[in-house]
Amino acid sequence: MVRLILQRLALLVPTLLGLSVLLFLWVRALPGGPATALLGERATPEAVERINSLYGFDKPLLEQYLTWIGQLLQGNFGTSTRTQVPVLEEFLDRFPATIELTLLALVFAVGIGIPLGYVAARHQGKALDHTTVVASLLGVTVPVFFLAFLLKFLFAVQLGWFPSAGRQSPSMVATHPTGFYVLDGLLTGEWDAAWDALLHLVLPAIALGSIPLAIIARITRASVIEVQSADYVRTARAKGLRPPRLRRRVVIRNAMLPVATTIGLQVGLLLSGAVLTETVFAFNGIGSFLAAAVFNLDYAVLQGFILFIAVVYALVNLAVDVSYGLIDPRMRVR
Amino acid sequence: MRTVLRTTALAAVSALALTACVASDRDADGGETAGGGEGGGQDTFIFAASSDPASLDPAFANDGESFRVARQIFEGLVGTEPGTADPAPLLAESWEVSEDGLTYEFALKEGVTFHDGTPFDAEAVCFNFERWNNFTGVLQSESLSYYWQKVNGGFASSDVESLNGTGKYESCEASDELTAVITLASPLPEFISALSLPAFSMQSPTALEEYGADDVGGDEAAPVLPEYATAHPTGTGPYMFESWTRGQEVVLTANPDYWGEQGQIRRVVFPVIGDPTARRQALQAGDIDGYDLVGPADVVALEEAGFQIVNREPFNVLYLAMNQAVPELADVRVRQAIAHAVNKEALVAQTLPEGTEVATNFVPPSVAGWSEDVATYEYDPDRARQLLSDAGVPSLTIDFNYPTNVSRPYMPTPEQVFQSVAADLQEVGITVNPVPEPWSPEYLDRIQGTADHGLHLLGWTGDYNDTYNFIGVFFGQSSNEWGFDDPELFSMIGDARYQTSVEDQTAAYEAANEAIMERLPGVPLAHPVPSLAFKPSIKGYPASPVQDEVYNVITIED
């Protein structure tokens, strides 16, 4: 197990290095430059030149890249040209918000997706199954931002059940020791603040979790159907294993392997979906900050944030691989 | 699995039920606001910001969001007449300017104290001026002390030659407790107007020193703001700083010792909502009381839904420029033909926000020097055709440059403006060759850096009541944008700038505006109005062309 983890961590190095090259080039291929984005109309060529030389954007690409990598290795992720705050600080300030949001979205997606897929598989070919299949197809195809707008329009603007934007109501006075607002409210005993923060999470989490929910439901359904008709299930049944026990011990366990993999992959989808969802809900996490960085061609933030996200994604998938051992005893040996 | 299923279902149902309970609670006391939801309560005013302030120390800021917050916390020597851009007394009750325009004597308001209890007096005034003039090193970077550099022109000393001792400001003397005398090295006609900028707010000398206001760390590429500029801004205004959660909100509370009227609003919250649609929906949901920069497309919808739209007097101009480096456009008859061909009224009605004024000058009417007597070029396609054939180019073909995928305050939808103008030109027989380009850097580089463009769309939003800030920027010297060299016009504008009496200066600027429209380097099209939107219960928002809007005059009705 330890060897597996170490192996995977070692693999992360070339992956990140390759990603850093791609990222660096992609960011610079964006039209325009940070100088003109910063200075606006009537910027004199001298001012543009000054900004470019200030941040080293006038140097050869290779030199810029090596400087950046050199700084990264020293733990220096650069400074946002837009806010003048170190990239790492911006990231750490906002990451708790995005973790809160993605966790809730994941709970929503897994909590509903797996049971839904399972029930559909048990009723394969019947109305319930068809409904689930169509609904999940719809779920996968509806764009996140559209769903976000729709949810907001319906539940915030029209019905007023949930707040439309932000992480906490402007009129709420609350202390935030950890940056996880719901947790903060629970820790400090400010119940109203915790509840208020949770309400702010509901709509964005549903919007963000919808696509993963649909995917998880589909995979669960397919996987359960496949396992149900597998030889070993037939054998087990023939040997007299009672259905509830058979389902619990054999079907679900075996069906969960591909589902676990899928859940790990969804984390990437959730983090990228956060860019749109957080922007729509003015949710102050890494996603909305990343979106602002795109518009302002904030190179350091784009490069730094996407690298962080890649690391998080890789680690989550590593964790999923490790969890196989828990689901499948055959993989525990190594 | 059954148990798991059952538990999940149970949890989901109870969560929904709980939510419903709370929702109904909120509805019960949420009141009659347009969308339901929670408002700010009777003494809290919640105004959505489009981004964080860059700095809470206004001396280190030049953006609208920083200034919006600074206007509540700080006051300068000079303010503006409500609803106009004209300078008016604020912390200075009056001022006298010497004959030569070099000495300004300010009589200060009595009995004013800063939020930290430090008295506001002539010493404090001089402390602030000396502070700005003695900025050194990284403090001199444009991203920090932009306005002092721009208005004053330099610092006491600097490593950059063009800034070293080149400023107009010479000295400040506290001749008695309530009289501050500022001496300039050479005249600076826009001095008084410029002092109404939040960048020149009076700040508490005690707090500036205590919280190391000038201890900016880092380097020019990445200045690190000191504690003062992030957590301790201290002014004389009606609101005091309470907190700033980056990316989320700025909170202010009433200053109990304010010298003026405190008003009903005791707490101001600026939540950050970057997306324009999200701002609109937050208003509709009742989560905020108002927001700025309402999109033209949202104005009608919001009004119909019962929200208030408040327009600022425009302080900008959108124009169609005609590059005289293009041989055909060097002929004034061709330029007149183009001016007569453009139907400005239709353009404004079709593509610009409601309330937009048709422009006749290159300055908006609220700026001194705007002239009623400029040559106007009525919409007259026949006249245009006639002028073109007189000029010997009945079938003119010309490049028309316009920016894409950008929205400027004076031009929300450049593509639409282009379509409308191009159709008018084609109507009179001009063949338009469209040259769309991304705003930055391609479009701006081409217009301002090269002579390779024909007609183009551009505009400008002013900072304070200064005519030179408009026509001086456009026509003060020869430039790639306009492609002409007219020393007579350049010196007319330059001379107007240095008139010491306001009357003479206004007359000189009026003459300059008339000369410009006679020469017709371009066609001023419109002064689009910026709109704000509010809940119906918000009364008395002090809309100002230069955004001098302080919230102590706002009331919230039941």
Residue range B384-402, pLDDT digits in tens: 999 999 999 988 999 999 9
Give the position of tokens 């609109």.
Answer: B280
A33 and B222: CB-CB below 8 Å? no
Q: DSSP letter at B138? A: G
Backbone angles phi, psi at B393, to 5 degrees: -130, 65
| B340 plus B238 within the same structural domain | no
Instruction: Kindly state the DSSP code that residue B213 receives in the 8-state scheme.
Output: T
Is residue B187 very low, low, confident or very high in pLDDT (cuts 50, 70, 90)? confident
pLDDT on residue B278: 86
User: Which of B2-6, B275-279, B439-443 shows the lowest per-residue confidence on average (mean pLDDT)?
Assistant: B2-6
CA nearest to A202 within chain B: B19
Nearest CB to A37; choose among B142, B440, B460: B440
> How far apart are the CA of B441 and the nearest CA of chain A, in angstroms?
5
A-B contacts at Cβ under 8 angstroms: 166
B5 CB burial (10 A radius; 0-12, 13-18, 19+): middle
- Angstrom CA distances, B26 to A1, A11, B31, B35, B37, stand at 52, 52, 9, 12, 7
Residue B59 identity (one-letter amino acid) = A
Residues B200/B147, Cβ–Cβ less than 8 Å: yes
At residue A248, the pLDDT reads 76
| A164 with B287: Cβ contact below 8 A | yes
| CA A183 – CA B364 distance, rounded (Å) | 53
Please report, as a single letter, which amino acid is at residue B392.
G
pLDDT of residue A44: 66
B8 occurs within a structural domain? no
Class of domain A100-296: mainly alpha
Q: Are B240 and B256 in contact (CB under 8 A)?
A: no
Q: With bands split at pLDDT 50, 70 and 90, how would you rate the model's confidence at B343?
A: very high
Summarize chain B as % helix, strand, coil (round to 5): 35, 20, 45
Chain A positions touching B284 (Cβ under 8 A) are: 157, 164
- Report CA Rg, chain A: 24
At residue A113, the pLDDT reads 92
Average pLDDT, rounded, for chain B:
88
**Domain-ending residue, one of B243, B276, B308:** B243
Q: What is the DSSP string of B376-432?
A: -----HHHHHHHHHHTT-SS-EEEEEEEES--BTTBS-HHHHHHHHHHHHHHTTPEE
SS3 content of chain A, % helix, strand, coil (to 5): 75, 0, 20
**Calpha distance B481→B475 (Å, rounded):** 10
How does DSSP classify residue B161? G
Beta-strand pair B217-218/B223-224: antiparallel
pLDDT of the residue at B408: 80
High-pLDDT (> 70) share of chain B, % = 92
3-state SS class at B227: helix
CA atoms of B425 and B381, how far apart (whole Å)? 9
Q: Two tokens at B424?
A: 């008018």
Say if residue B26's pLDDT is above 50.
Answer: no
Same domain, B427 and B337: yes
Q: Are A112 and A213 a contacting pair, CB within 8 Å?
A: yes
Q: Are strands B44-48 and B217-218 parallel, antiparallel or unpaired?
A: unpaired
Structural domain contains residue B483: yes
Q: Are B95 and B105 in contact (CB under 8 A)?
A: yes
Considering the domain architecture, whether residues B364 and B461 belong to the same structural domain is answered as yes
Which residue has 């009623």 as its token pair?
B372
CATH of the domain at B504: 3.10.105.10
Side by side, the strands of the sheet bearing B431-438 are B357-358, B522-527, B316-322, B455-461, B397-404, B431-438
Report CB contact under 8 Å: B274, A282. yes
Separation in Å, CA B266 to CA A181, B80, B111, B253, B261: 26, 23, 22, 6, 12
Q: List strands edge to edge, sheet with B308-311.
A: B239-245, B249-254, B267-271, B44-48, B290-291, B531-534, B308-311
Q: Report the distance separating Cα B196 and Cα B151, nearest Å.
A: 12
* Res. B512: pLDDT tops 90: yes
- Which residues in chain A land under pLDDT 70? 31-34, 36-45, 331-334
Residue B338 has pLDDT above 50, yes or no: yes
The pLDDT value given to residue A36: 66
Is residue B3 over pLDDT 60?
no
Domain of residue B483 covers 316-527
Mean pLDDT of B235-244: 96
Taking CA atoms, what residue in A is nearest to B220?
A54
Q: How many domains does chain B have?
A: 2
Task: Name, of B188-197, B348-357, B387-396, B519-528, the range with top average pLDDT.
Answer: B519-528
Comparing CB atoms, the residue among A163, A199, A279 nearest residue B275 is: A279
Of the candidates B193, B218, B243, which is a domain's last residue?
B243
pLDDT of residue B12: 44
Instruction: Give the DSSP per-residue string, B324-355.
Output: TTSGGGGSHHHHHHHHHH--HHHHHHHHS-TT
CB contact (8 A) between residue A163 and residue B285: yes
What ipTM goes with this model? 0.70
Q: Of B481, B532, B523, B530, nearest to B347 (Cα)?
A: B523
b/e B472-498 (16+ beta carbons within 10 angstroms → b)? bebbeeeeebbbbebeebeebbeebbe
Of A247, A248, A279, the CB nearest to B274: A279
Measured CA to CA in angstroms, residue B362 lies from B133, B170, B194, B366, B367 at distances of 33, 33, 20, 12, 10
What's the pLDDT tens digit per position in B453-510?
999 999 988 888 889 889 988 998 888 899 999 999 999 998 998 887 788 889 999 9
Tell me which of B319, B444, B477 to substitute to probe the interface with A (most A C-beta atoms closer than 10 Å): B444
Q: pLDDT tens, B126-168?
A: 999 999 999 998 898 877 888 898 889 899 999 888 888 889 9
| Whole-number pLDDT of residue A247 | 79
Determine how many CB atoms are found less than 10 A away from the CB of residue A11.
Answer: 12
Q: What's residue A5's pLDDT?
A: 80
In this complex, do B2 and A244 lie within 8 Å of one another by their Cβ atoms? yes
A171 → chain B, closest CA residue: B40
Among A83, A84, A154, the residue to mutate for chain B (most B Cβ within 10 A): A84
Query: Cis (ω within 30 of 0) for the bond into B441?
Result: yes
CA atoms of B364 and B378, how far apart (whole Å): 19
Contact A93 B247 (CB under 8 A): yes
Distance from CA of A115 to the nearest CA of B (A): 6
Q: Which of A31, A111, A170 sits opposite B46 (nearest CB)?
A: A170
The answer to whether the Cβ–Cβ distance between A282 and B273 falls below 8 Å is yes
Which whole number is the average pLDDT over B246-268?
93
Indicate yes or no: CB of B441 within 8 angstroms of CB of A111: no
